[in-house]
Amino acid sequence: MANFSDKIKAIWRALPFFGGKDPLVTVIELSGVIGGAGPGRKGLSLQRLEKSIDAAFKPGGLSAVALAINSPGGSPVQSRLIYGAIRRCAKEKGVPVLAFVEDVGASGGYILAIAGDEIYADDSSIIGSIGVIAGGFGFPEALSRLGVERRVHTAGDNKAMLDPFKPEDAEDVARLQETLDDLHVQFIDMVKSRRSGKLKEDADIFSGAIWTGPKAQEKGLIDGTAQLGDFLRVRYGKDVRIKRISSESGSLLKRLLSGGDAQAFPAAPLIDADTILDAVERRAMWSRFGL
Protein backbone atom coordinates (compact mmCIF):
# COMPACT_ATOMS: atom_id res chain seq x y z
CA MET A 1 0.00 0.00 0.00
CA ALA A 2 2.85 2.34 0.83
CA ASN A 3 4.45 1.69 -2.56
CA PHE A 4 1.17 2.49 -4.33
CA SER A 5 0.85 5.72 -2.34
CA ASP A 6 4.41 6.72 -3.22
CA LYS A 7 3.68 6.11 -6.90
CA ILE A 8 0.57 8.31 -6.78
CA LYS A 9 2.55 11.10 -5.11
CA ALA A 10 5.31 10.79 -7.70
CA ILE A 11 2.80 10.99 -10.55
CA TRP A 12 1.12 14.00 -8.91
CA ARG A 13 4.45 15.82 -8.54
CA ALA A 14 5.35 15.01 -12.15
CA LEU A 15 2.27 16.73 -13.54
CA PRO A 16 3.50 19.96 -15.16
CA PHE A 17 1.15 22.44 -13.55
CA PHE A 18 -0.68 20.60 -10.80
CA GLY A 19 -0.11 19.10 -7.41
CA GLY A 20 2.82 18.95 -5.10
CA LYS A 21 4.28 21.59 -2.85
CA ASP A 22 7.75 21.33 -4.34
CA PRO A 23 9.04 24.46 -6.12
CA LEU A 24 8.18 24.65 -9.83
CA VAL A 25 10.40 26.17 -12.52
CA THR A 26 9.33 26.14 -16.16
CA VAL A 27 11.98 26.26 -18.89
CA ILE A 28 11.55 27.96 -22.27
CA GLU A 29 13.75 26.41 -24.96
CA LEU A 30 15.38 29.12 -27.12
CA SER A 31 17.65 27.21 -29.47
CA GLY A 32 18.51 28.22 -33.02
CA VAL A 33 19.03 31.18 -35.31
CA ILE A 34 16.63 34.06 -34.65
CA GLY A 35 14.24 35.09 -37.40
CA GLY A 36 12.94 33.57 -40.60
CA ALA A 37 9.31 32.78 -39.84
CA GLY A 38 8.35 32.18 -43.46
CA PRO A 39 7.54 28.84 -45.15
CA GLY A 40 10.27 26.27 -44.65
CA ARG A 41 12.09 28.43 -42.12
CA LYS A 42 12.50 27.18 -38.57
CA GLY A 43 14.16 30.13 -36.87
CA LEU A 44 13.17 31.54 -33.49
CA SER A 45 10.40 34.10 -33.84
CA LEU A 46 7.69 35.57 -31.65
CA GLN A 47 5.10 33.84 -33.86
CA ARG A 48 6.57 30.42 -33.04
CA LEU A 49 7.33 31.14 -29.36
CA GLU A 50 4.40 33.25 -28.13
CA LYS A 51 2.31 30.26 -26.99
CA SER A 52 5.32 28.67 -25.29
CA ILE A 53 6.11 31.89 -23.43
CA ASP A 54 2.50 32.23 -22.27
CA ALA A 55 2.44 28.56 -21.18
CA ALA A 56 5.66 28.95 -19.19
CA PHE A 57 4.25 31.82 -17.13
CA LYS A 58 0.75 30.32 -16.75
CA PRO A 59 1.12 28.04 -13.67
CA GLY A 60 0.31 29.48 -10.29
CA GLY A 61 2.96 29.43 -7.57
CA LEU A 62 5.90 29.49 -9.97
CA SER A 63 9.30 29.88 -8.34
CA ALA A 64 10.88 31.10 -11.59
CA VAL A 65 10.93 30.82 -15.36
CA ALA A 66 14.24 29.71 -16.87
CA LEU A 67 15.49 30.40 -20.40
CA ALA A 68 17.65 27.71 -22.01
CA ILE A 69 19.49 29.70 -24.68
CA ASN A 70 21.62 28.42 -27.53
CA SER A 71 21.63 31.00 -30.32
CA PRO A 72 24.22 32.80 -32.48
CA GLY A 73 21.77 35.63 -33.14
CA GLY A 74 19.87 36.69 -36.21
CA SER A 75 17.04 39.17 -36.70
CA PRO A 76 17.31 42.15 -34.33
CA VAL A 77 13.55 42.72 -34.61
CA GLN A 78 12.58 39.15 -33.65
CA SER A 79 15.19 39.22 -30.86
CA ARG A 80 13.53 42.32 -29.38
CA LEU A 81 10.00 40.96 -29.86
CA ILE A 82 10.82 37.73 -28.01
CA TYR A 83 12.65 39.69 -25.32
CA GLY A 84 9.66 42.02 -24.96
CA ALA A 85 7.16 39.16 -24.64
CA ILE A 86 9.21 37.52 -21.88
CA ARG A 87 9.63 40.76 -19.94
CA ARG A 88 5.91 41.59 -20.23
CA CYS A 89 4.90 38.21 -18.82
CA ALA A 90 7.51 38.45 -16.07
CA LYS A 91 6.17 41.86 -15.01
CA GLU A 92 2.51 40.81 -15.18
CA LYS A 93 3.06 37.61 -13.19
CA GLY A 94 5.74 38.93 -10.84
CA VAL A 95 7.95 35.92 -11.61
CA PRO A 96 11.78 36.07 -11.75
CA VAL A 97 13.46 35.00 -15.00
CA LEU A 98 16.78 33.12 -15.01
CA ALA A 99 18.73 32.82 -18.27
CA PHE A 100 21.16 29.96 -18.95
CA VAL A 101 23.39 30.12 -22.03
CA GLU A 102 24.52 26.79 -23.47
CA ASP A 103 26.93 26.82 -26.44
CA VAL A 104 26.28 30.38 -27.61
CA GLY A 105 24.43 33.47 -26.44
CA ALA A 106 25.77 35.98 -28.93
CA SER A 107 24.37 39.00 -30.76
CA GLY A 108 20.57 38.50 -30.81
CA GLY A 109 21.15 35.45 -28.62
CA TYR A 110 22.49 37.79 -25.95
CA ILE A 111 19.36 39.96 -26.30
CA LEU A 112 17.40 36.84 -25.35
CA ALA A 113 19.74 36.35 -22.38
CA ILE A 114 19.19 39.85 -20.99
CA ALA A 115 15.49 39.04 -20.77
CA GLY A 116 16.66 37.20 -17.66
CA ASP A 117 17.03 38.96 -14.32
CA GLU A 118 20.14 36.83 -13.86
CA ILE A 119 22.33 35.27 -16.56
CA TYR A 120 24.46 32.14 -16.20
CA ALA A 121 26.59 30.23 -18.69
CA ASP A 122 28.98 27.33 -18.95
CA ASP A 123 32.71 28.02 -18.66
CA SER A 124 33.01 27.20 -22.38
CA SER A 125 29.95 29.14 -23.54
CA ILE A 126 30.45 31.97 -26.03
CA ILE A 127 28.96 35.29 -24.92
CA GLY A 128 28.77 38.76 -26.43
CA SER A 129 28.99 39.92 -30.05
CA ILE A 130 27.19 43.11 -29.10
CA GLY A 131 27.23 44.63 -32.54
CA VAL A 132 25.33 44.66 -35.84
CA ILE A 133 26.36 43.09 -39.13
CA ALA A 134 25.07 43.25 -42.69
CA GLY A 135 26.52 41.16 -45.48
CA GLY A 136 25.94 40.34 -49.09
CA PHE A 137 27.58 39.75 -52.45
CA GLY A 138 28.27 41.87 -55.51
CA PHE A 139 28.14 40.71 -59.14
CA PRO A 140 28.59 43.94 -61.13
CA GLU A 141 30.15 42.22 -64.15
CA ALA A 142 28.32 38.90 -64.11
CA LEU A 143 25.37 39.80 -66.33
CA SER A 144 27.46 41.48 -69.03
CA ARG A 145 29.68 38.40 -69.26
CA LEU A 146 26.58 36.27 -69.73
CA GLY A 147 25.15 38.62 -72.31
CA VAL A 148 22.15 39.41 -70.12
CA GLU A 149 20.52 42.84 -69.98
CA ARG A 150 19.02 43.68 -66.59
CA ARG A 151 16.04 46.02 -66.48
CA VAL A 152 15.15 47.65 -63.16
CA HIS A 153 12.74 50.58 -62.79
CA THR A 154 12.10 52.36 -59.51
CA ALA A 155 10.12 55.25 -58.07
CA GLY A 156 12.44 56.72 -55.44
CA ASP A 157 16.12 57.46 -55.87
CA ASN A 158 17.23 55.00 -53.19
CA LYS A 159 14.85 52.13 -53.88
CA ALA A 160 17.56 50.04 -55.55
CA MET A 161 20.16 50.79 -52.88
CA LEU A 162 23.10 48.38 -52.84
CA ASP A 163 21.96 46.59 -55.99
CA PRO A 164 24.28 43.54 -56.16
CA PHE A 165 24.54 43.84 -59.95
CA LYS A 166 25.92 47.39 -59.82
CA PRO A 167 29.25 48.68 -58.47
CA GLU A 168 29.08 49.58 -54.78
CA ASP A 169 28.00 53.19 -54.26
CA ALA A 170 29.59 55.24 -51.46
CA GLU A 171 26.31 57.01 -50.64
CA ASP A 172 24.50 53.67 -50.35
CA VAL A 173 27.19 52.38 -47.99
CA ALA A 174 26.92 55.52 -45.86
CA ARG A 175 23.13 55.09 -45.56
CA LEU A 176 23.55 51.44 -44.59
CA GLN A 177 26.18 52.35 -42.00
CA GLU A 178 23.82 54.92 -40.48
CA THR A 179 21.17 52.21 -40.07
CA LEU A 180 23.68 49.79 -38.55
CA ASP A 181 24.86 52.46 -36.12
CA ASP A 182 21.26 53.16 -35.05
CA LEU A 183 20.65 49.47 -34.39
CA HIS A 184 23.93 49.24 -32.47
CA VAL A 185 22.94 52.13 -30.19
CA GLN A 186 19.59 50.45 -29.51
CA PHE A 187 21.39 47.20 -28.63
CA ILE A 188 23.85 49.00 -26.32
CA ASP A 189 21.03 50.85 -24.56
CA MET A 190 19.19 47.57 -23.91
CA VAL A 191 22.29 45.93 -22.44
CA LYS A 192 23.12 48.94 -20.24
CA SER A 193 19.55 49.09 -18.97
CA ARG A 194 19.24 45.39 -18.16
CA ARG A 195 22.77 45.00 -16.76
CA SER A 196 22.80 48.30 -14.89
CA GLY A 197 25.25 48.26 -12.00
CA LYS A 198 26.81 45.02 -13.23
CA LEU A 199 28.69 46.02 -16.40
CA LYS A 200 32.33 47.00 -16.11
CA GLU A 201 33.58 50.26 -17.66
CA ASP A 202 35.01 48.69 -20.79
CA ALA A 203 34.38 50.02 -24.30
CA ASP A 204 35.42 46.65 -25.71
CA ILE A 205 32.15 45.17 -24.42
CA PHE A 206 30.27 46.86 -27.26
CA SER A 207 32.84 46.22 -29.99
CA GLY A 208 31.23 43.01 -31.26
CA ALA A 209 33.87 40.88 -29.51
CA ILE A 210 33.03 37.54 -27.86
CA TRP A 211 34.22 35.87 -24.65
CA THR A 212 33.95 32.58 -22.83
CA GLY A 213 31.92 32.33 -19.62
CA PRO A 214 34.53 33.42 -17.03
CA LYS A 215 35.66 36.41 -19.11
CA ALA A 216 32.06 37.42 -19.74
CA GLN A 217 31.48 37.30 -15.98
CA GLU A 218 34.50 39.56 -15.38
CA LYS A 219 32.99 42.11 -17.75
CA GLY A 220 29.58 41.89 -16.08
CA LEU A 221 27.81 40.37 -19.06
CA ILE A 222 26.72 37.36 -16.98
CA ASP A 223 26.29 36.73 -13.26
CA GLY A 224 28.20 33.48 -13.01
CA THR A 225 28.98 30.12 -14.54
CA ALA A 226 26.50 27.35 -13.87
CA GLN A 227 24.37 24.74 -15.60
CA LEU A 228 20.60 24.99 -15.52
CA GLY A 229 19.65 21.78 -13.70
CA ASP A 230 22.40 21.93 -11.10
CA PHE A 231 21.76 25.61 -10.39
CA LEU A 232 18.01 25.18 -9.92
CA ARG A 233 18.49 22.24 -7.55
CA VAL A 234 20.89 24.27 -5.43
CA ARG A 235 18.68 27.36 -5.32
CA TYR A 236 15.26 25.69 -4.97
CA GLY A 237 16.15 22.33 -3.47
CA LYS A 238 16.70 18.84 -4.82
CA ASP A 239 12.93 18.27 -5.21
CA VAL A 240 12.41 21.25 -7.52
CA ARG A 241 10.13 20.41 -10.44
CA ILE A 242 11.71 21.44 -13.75
CA LYS A 243 9.23 21.49 -16.64
CA ARG A 244 10.53 22.22 -20.12
CA ILE A 245 8.28 24.08 -22.57
CA SER A 246 9.01 23.58 -26.26
CA SER A 247 7.46 25.35 -29.24
CA GLU A 248 7.01 21.87 -30.74
CA SER A 249 5.51 20.29 -27.61
CA GLY A 250 2.24 18.51 -28.21
CA SER A 251 2.54 18.60 -31.98
CA LEU A 252 3.20 14.86 -32.34
CA LEU A 253 0.33 13.99 -29.98
CA LYS A 254 -2.02 16.21 -31.94
CA ARG A 255 -0.99 14.52 -35.19
CA LEU A 256 -1.47 11.07 -33.71
CA LEU A 257 -4.93 11.98 -32.40
CA SER A 258 -5.95 13.55 -35.70
CA GLY A 259 -6.37 10.07 -37.24
CA GLY A 260 -4.81 8.47 -40.27
CA ASP A 261 -1.18 7.70 -40.98
CA ALA A 262 -1.01 10.34 -43.68
CA GLN A 263 -2.00 13.03 -41.20
CA ALA A 264 0.11 11.70 -38.34
CA PHE A 265 3.26 11.42 -40.44
CA PRO A 266 3.01 13.80 -43.40
CA ALA A 267 5.40 13.47 -46.30
CA ALA A 268 8.64 15.44 -46.08
CA PRO A 269 8.41 18.80 -47.89
CA LEU A 270 10.21 19.27 -51.16
CA ILE A 271 13.57 21.00 -50.81
CA ASP A 272 13.66 24.19 -52.86
CA ALA A 273 16.27 26.88 -53.44
CA ASP A 274 15.00 29.06 -50.58
CA THR A 275 15.30 26.16 -48.14
CA ILE A 276 18.86 25.45 -49.27
CA LEU A 277 19.87 29.13 -49.01
CA ASP A 278 18.25 29.35 -45.58
CA ALA A 279 20.26 26.32 -44.41
CA VAL A 280 23.49 27.82 -45.78
CA GLU A 281 22.83 31.15 -44.01
CA ARG A 282 22.18 29.40 -40.72
CA ARG A 283 25.26 27.22 -41.07
CA ALA A 284 27.34 30.34 -41.71
CA MET A 285 26.01 32.02 -38.54
CA TRP A 286 26.91 29.04 -36.35
CA SER A 287 30.32 28.65 -38.00
CA ARG A 288 31.30 32.21 -36.94
CA PHE A 289 31.58 30.76 -33.43
CA GLY A 290 33.34 27.54 -34.42
CA LEU A 291 30.15 25.46 -34.14
Residue 106's DSSP bridge partners are 128
Report residue 250's pLDDT band, with 50, 70 and 90 as the boundaries. Answer: very low
Instruction: Please tell me the distance from the alpha carbon of residue 265 to that of residue 269, in angstroms, as a whole number.
Output: 12
Confidence of residue 262 (pLDDT cuts 50, 70, 90): very low
Per-residue model confidence as pLDDT tens digits over 125-174: 999 999 888 877 787 788 778 888 778 888 887 777 777 878 888 888 89
Domains in the chain: ranges and CATH: 2-129+209-287 (3.90.226.10), 132-200 (no CATH)
pLDDT of residue 66 exceeding 80: yes
pLDDT at 39: 46
- pLDDT value at 279 more than 70: no
- Render the burial of 60-72: b for 16+ CB within 10 Å, e for the rest: eebbbbbbbbbbb
The pLDDT value recorded for residue 88 is 98
pLDDT band at 247 (very low <50, low <70, confident <90, very high): low
Comparing 12 with 131, the larger pLDDT belongs to 131
- The mean predicted confidence, pLDDT, of the chain is 82
pLDDT at 263 over 50: no
pLDDT band at 258 (very low <50, low <70, confident <90, very high): very low
| Secondary structure of residue 152 in the 3-state scheme | coil
Distance CA 63, CA 71 (A): 25
Q: Give residue 46's pLDDT.
A: 95
Task: Determine the Cα–Cα distance for residues 197 and 101; give it in Å rounded to an integer.
Answer: 21
Measured CA distances, 31 to 88, 106, 255 (Å): 21, 12, 23
pLDDT at position 260: 40
Q: What is the model's pLDDT at position 163? A: 79
pTM: 0.78
Question: What three-state secondary structure class fits 70?
Answer: strand
Q: Which of 131, 6, 111 is nearest to 69 (CA)?
A: 111
The neighbour count for residue 218, using CB atoms within 10 Å, is 12
Rounded to whole angstroms, the Cα distance separating 107 from 99 reads 15
CA gap 33, 212 in Å, rounded: 20
The pLDDT assigned to 41 comes to 54
**Helices (runs of H) and strands (runs of E) counted in the chain:** 11, 8
